[in-house]
Amino acid sequence: MLSGKNILIGITGGIAAYKICELIRMFKRANANVRVICTPNALNFVTKLTLQNLSQNDVGIEEFELKEFKPEHISYADEADIMVIAPATANTISKLANGICDNLLTSIACAFRKQIIIAPAMNFGMWENKFIQENIQKLQNAGRIILEPESGYLACGYEGKGRLCKLETIFDKTVEVLKTEKNLSGKKIVITCGGTIEEIDSVRYISNYSSGKMGIALADAAYAQGADVILISTVNVIKPYRVEKVKSANEMQIAVEGEQNSADCIIMAAAVADYRAKNIANHKLKKTKEDEITIELVKNPDILKGLCEKRTSNSQIIVGFCAESEDLIKNAKEKILNKGCDYLIANDISRKDIGFSSDFNEVTILDRNGGIKQLPRAAKTEIAKEILKEIYG
């Protein structure tokens, strides 16, 4: 199953370290080449000799035990196809999230340019600590895969969330990542996300409830499949691919059009405001004695339609999104004809289980030839994969 794959396992100083011996055996039985690195404290729970015998490779511990001309953390990072850190303690998670490299494992993780799977295990109080959760979120935002711990009886004598997830979960996720086809290699895909912000004065603005989650999921999926991804976003995210931060519809238009000539595909997942204030006050507008106030609005540029009209080649694919609260298919059919895009992804934003800020979605994909495909409710990460599959087959 994993023949020819090089898996780097990082073990940190938690009681669940002993379980990783069986994980190594699982990878070896699948014909993977396994190398192990440990933090010094991990050896309090499992021996170096045991890990060497199971992996059939030397075990790395100290950062400067060099056996070749390259710095050890760089050579480990270059050779592996994926890195799995299990168990990941609160201490190591915090170091990874903040770029601290004070041992071999954290130095390798910092230099690692491929996917890292992190399986935390710790006391439930530590897992619930707000700083640990912030660090978990930072790692997820950076594209790292977090396999959350399970609830149950813990080594500290308490019950709660903190147990290392099942080894089968780690194994299956590793296989999934390694087996993901890089069928988008060589493709440049530009994706927009989030809701634009249109200023009224120095403190107020017009916007919408878009979280950007669908666009980010599409960018993550395209990147995992080997695409050169540019995410043009109104929300702050840190990713292993290029992210360009914008605010208004005009800024988004400039950014997208600047990438159009070299793009193979443009996916307009952002919720672009239809109107903006005609005149933006450079100071805070004061409350007056009047019961009403009038703000004159002007239309924003139709970015999607403009892209379709300026399309650089017949092979360039342009995808739009359609957020509707009623008559979803009827409005989507009218929109794809009006805009001239190749695909239109229609969302029903009236449903709370798939609407704005939800981690789930249910969409209908329309194509320019009249085809309609419905994708049932699923996580946005899965919907993103299905959309890319529909676009590229």
- Catalytically annotated residues: 156
Residue 294: strand, helix, or coil: coil
Phi/psi region, residue 63 (left: phi>0; alpha: psi -120 to 50; beta: rest), is alpha
CA-to-CA distance for 38 and 72, rounded, in angstroms?
A: 13
Radius of gyration in angstroms for the set of CA atoms belonging to the chain, rounded to a whole number = 24
Strands (E) located in 218-359: 228-233, 242-245, 265-268, 275-277, 297-299, 317-324, 343-348
Residue 232: strand, helix, or coil: strand
One-letter amino acid of 52: Q
Which strand (E) or helix (H) includes residue 23? helix 20-29
What sections of 56-103 are H helices per DSSP?
Answer: 72-79, 90-97
Do residues 148 and 137 lie in contact, with contact meaning Cβ atoms separated by under 8 Å? Answer: no
Residue 360: CB atoms within 10 A of its CB come to: 16
Which strand (E) or helix (H) includes residue 39? none
- 212 CB contacts (<8 Å, ≥6 apart)? 193, 194, 195, 233, 234, 235, 237, 270
Q: Any idea what DSSP says for residue 271? A: B
CA-to-CA distance for 230 and 241, rounded, in angstroms?
A: 7
